[in-house]
Structure 1
Amino acid sequence: MGMLKEFKEFAVRGNVVDMAVGIVIGAAFGKIVTSLVSDIIMPPIGWLTGGIDFSAMKWVMRPADDSNPAHKIPEVAINYGSFVNTIIAFVIVAFAIFILVKIINRLYTKAAAATPPDVVLLTEIRDLLKNKQ
Structure 2
Amino acid sequence: MGLIKEFKDFAVRGNVVDLAVAVIIGAAFGKVVSSLVNDIIMPPIGLLVGGVDFTDLMVVLKEAYLDPSGTEIAAVTINYGNFIQFVVDFSIVAFAVFMIVKLINNLKRKEEAAPTPPPPTVNKTEVLLEEIRDLLKKQG
TM-score class normalised by the smaller sequence: 0.7 to 0.9
Tell me which residue corresponds to 1:80.
80
Counterparts of 2:80 and 2:107, CA distance in 1: 41
Counterparts of 2:90 and 2:83, CA distance in 1: 10
Secondary structure (helix, strand or coil) at the match of 1:60 reads strand
TM-score if structure 2 supplies the norm length? 0.77
Tell me which residue corresponds to 2:125.
none
TM-score if structure 1 supplies the norm length? 0.80
In structure 1, runs of 5+ residues without a counterpart are 125-133
- CA deviation map 1:77-130 (0-9, x unaligned): 11110010000100100000000000011111212333677xx66xx9xxxxxx
Tell me which residue corresponds to 1:102.
102
State yes or no: 1:57 paired with 2:49.
Answer: no
| Cα shift at 1:26 | 0.3
Sequence identity of aligned pairs in percent?
55
Aligned pairs for 1:3-82 (under 5 A) are 3-66=3-66, 70-82=70-82
Counterparts of 1:28 and 1:63, CA distance in 2: 38
Aligned-residue RMSD, C-alpha: 2.3
Gap change, CA 1:19 and 1:116, over 3 Å in 2: farther
Q: Higher Cα Rg: structure 1 or 2?
A: 2
